[in-house]
Amino acid sequence: MVSARHHDDSAGVIAHPPVLYLGALVIGLGADWLLALPPLPYLSGAAGLSAGLVLGVLGLGLLFTAAFRFIKAGTNIPTHLPSTALVTDGLYRYSRNPIYLGLTLVYLGLVAGLASLGALVLLLPLLAAMQVGVIHREERYLERKFGDDYRAYKQRVRRWL
């Protein structure tokens, strides 16, 4: 867990977000197999693969475009490292969490491509874990770190979309 050994100047999230998404996917796929869950209707075969590919490519595009803004600003992407700049341009003008939005689209792409009922069922608990264990902690950290600048940004830009 990141919070048990996080740097003093970090958000102290419950786990790295990609690990949460991957964990939910693996558990969902395991549930499909162990419980012999049926594939999602209308998503087995070419339709699911096509939808999954579109969602996955869109998600990766969001993720990498948003991550590039962090790199350009000279700040850290991993949540266990300190934030050194408040990024508010690019995709961050429209969403405070475009990387997480991208991860969610990639997850949905994998759900569709694999027609996984188990992984779909875990989407809401995954998003709840992200909201409480990652995003809320990051927001508190960024308010402490960047003060009024971050509070003004929160007023202008929605959390997800």
* Domain residue limits, the chain: 17-156
Q: What is the pTM of this model?
A: 0.93
Q: Shortest CA distance to 112 belongs to which of 36, 159, 54?
A: 54
Number of Cβ within a 10 Å radius of residue 156: 9
pLDDT per residue as tens digits for the range 9-53: 999 999 999 999 999 999 999 999 999 999 999 998 999 999 999
Q: Quick one: what percent of the chain has pLDDT higher than 70?
A: 96
User: Which position has the token pair 């491509």?
Assistant: 113
pLDDT of 112 above 90: yes
pLDDT per residue as tens digits for the range 75-108: 999 999 999 999 999 999 999 999 999 999 999 9
Q: Using CA atoms, how far apart are residues 8 and 6, in angstroms rounded to an integer?
A: 6
pLDDT band at 2 (very low <50, low <70, confident <90, very high): very low
Q: Residue 44: what pLDDT? A: 86
